[in-house]
Chains A and B, each alone.
Chain A
Amino acid sequence: MEMGFKWDFAYEILPQMLWATLNTIIAAGVGYVIALVVGLFFLLGQRTPYKIVNVINRELVEFIRSTPLLIQLFFVYFVLPQFGIKLSAWLCGMITIGLHFGTYLSEVYRGALEGVSKTQWEACRALNFSTIYTYRRIVLPQAFPIAIPGMGNYLVGIFKDTPLLSTIGVAELFHAATAVGGYHYRYLEPYTMVGIIFLILSIPAAMWVRNLEKRVNVAQGKAKQ
């Protein structure tokens, strides 16, 4: 077999890889939106006044957070059909990623809400604002900037975990690379290209998140003065 990087082969498979990249981006985007919403539900479970709900919620979050995403994927993909629920690999993948990262995002939300000073609540109560009004006009506008860096980090995190979806047959970038590699029996170029495409997409994203973080810190510092 020929050694070294074959540029013409890489060029030949490039269109295929770029199409698959689109799937990766869609998977990351959809998974992220689901995770954002799921995170809200976990947050709600955490903040309800019912103790039993709090405990169940906390244990569930702890369980999901301390077990591997890969096995969770297998679990959802293989076990649901046994209960008569037949979902496509895509849907299984999106649900699992949403659940897994939803637990992380709920922690981000919680941290952001706790980052808002307690006196803000007291002031709102003194002004006789309703709870909903307090959240909508006072607390959330202050909590949101605190949550932005964490939320951005998990977007990048989800993006980097999408290759796991290939194990249940979602046709994203890594899946395409494995398929192309298997067909030509050459893995050097496809896998290297996957790595480069990931770098091209995730380094600017990470830089953007870091920039956001810096701006939020500056804004917070100003708020303190």
Chain B
Amino acid sequence: MSYFAFLAEHGSTLLLGTVTTIKVLVCSTILYLIISMIFGLMRLSKNSVIQGIATVYIEFFRGTSLLVQLFWVYYVLPFFGLSLEAFVAGVVALGMNFGAYGAEIVRGGILAVPKGQWEAAHALNFSPAKRIKRIIIPQIFPIILPPAANLTVELLKATALVALVTVVDLTFEAKQINSITWLSAQCFGTALLIYYIIARFALVPFLRWLEVLAARKVGR
């Protein structure tokens, strides 16, 4: 079977899987951004209880393997009466895992904002919430976007793991087609290529564009 015949027969299935992969990527990106904001700020809190909770969360999710967390969410939570759909379980596990890494990036970004900005906001009698929201957060984007972009590319790669908890994504479809046809080189080769194309020609340019945008916003 030539490669074109393979694509003609299985290409549409792989594309359907790709759509699911992108859905997983978008949902878990949103979740991880929210989590990293919250826990990044909590990590810098002066209240030692809040700071402790954030530290435990971050150390826990960075200390264990993503696959273990994924299986835990999907197979163990039902023991506690919480059954999640495979897609939701995948997004939750990815979001919580990458949120822990992202929180450290956010923390670093906030610490990198010059101290004078804090002092100026203080001097102008801004409330603490307003200080964070109007002065600090807008300035951290140019700082945190480059590492966050790397993390998002890692997230795209990590979405492949959700196939192992039966989410029908690109990896799942490739595996499925492989088990029917045994055309392993074509199946997995095509899947690798699709991931590469998404990362290299869609995700990375988009993130670079965001970086430029954020840098321009603060006048750099």
Contact = CB atoms under 8 A, between A and B. Distances in A.
Interface stretch (A38-46, A63-71, A87-95, A120-128): A63-71
Interface string A146-172: 000000000000001111101100000
Given A195-B64, A198-B65, A202-B64, A78 B188 contact: yes
A4 B171 CA distance: 33
Interface residues of B, number: 40
Contact of B68 (A70, A75, A195): A195
Contact of A78 (B66, B67, B178, B204): B178
Contacts of A71: 160, 171, 174, 188, 191-192, 195
A158 to B, nearest CB: 11
A9 B39 CA distance: 35
Contact of A68 (B71, B178, B195): B195
B189 interface: yes
A195 B144 CA distance: 29
9 contacts: A70-B171, A72-B192, A79-B184, A161-B65, A163-B65, A163-B67, A187-B71, A192-B72, A199-B60
B interface majority secondary structure: helix
A-B pairs with the 5 shortest C-beta distances?
A78-B184, A68-B160, A66-B199, A75-B188, A163-B67
Interface of A: 1, 3-4, 62-63, 66-72, 74-75, 78-79, 82, 160-164, 166-167, 174, 178, 181, 187-188, 191-192, 194-195, 198-199, 202-203, 206
Contact of B63 (A62, A70, A78, A203): A203
A191 B75 contact: yes
B164 interface: yes
* Residue of B159, B185, B204 with highest tally of chain A CB at under 10 A: B185
A184 B56 CA distance: 31
B200 interface: yes
B144 to A, nearest CB: 19
B76 A67 contact: no
Interface string B106-140: 00000000000000000000000000000000000
Nearest to B186: A79
A202 B63 contact: yes
A74 B62 CA distance: 25
A167 B188 CA distance: 15
A66 B63 contact: no
A206 B63 contact: yes
